[in-house]
Amino acid sequence: MKAFFEGIQSLFVDFLFVPMDFLRSLELTSWFGANILNWIFMAICASAMVYWILQLKEHKANNDEYQDTTAHSFFK
């Protein structure tokens, strides 16, 4: 059983975390380069939020929303 868990450790440490080790070593020379994944995720989240807000504005302008609180029987 110990060999099984050591195999999992080897998989993650020796193979799957190699890109993270590179980013950690890059931090000494370029902070922005080391945090590129964070910048990418923030850009994706910001663009998704802008898209969602624009869709909400469009539906509100067309009066497509049904905001009746009695739409479900458990709200009565």
Domain coordinates in residue numbering, the chain: 2-64
Q: What is the model's pLDDT at position 27?
A: 85
Asked whether the beta carbons of 69 and 75 are under 8 A apart, the reply is yes
Q: What is the model's pLDDT at position 64?
A: 77
For 55-69, the pLDDT digits (tens) are 999 988 888 776 666
For 18-48, the pLDDT digits (tens) are 988 888 888 889 888 889 889 999 999 999 9
The secondary structure of 20-56, three-state, reads HHHHHHHCCCCHHHHCHHHHHHHHHHHHHHHHHHHHH
Mean pLDDT of 7-18: 93
Mean pLDDT of 10-25: 90
Classified as helix, coil or strand, 61 is helix
Q: What is the model's pLDDT at position 75?
A: 62
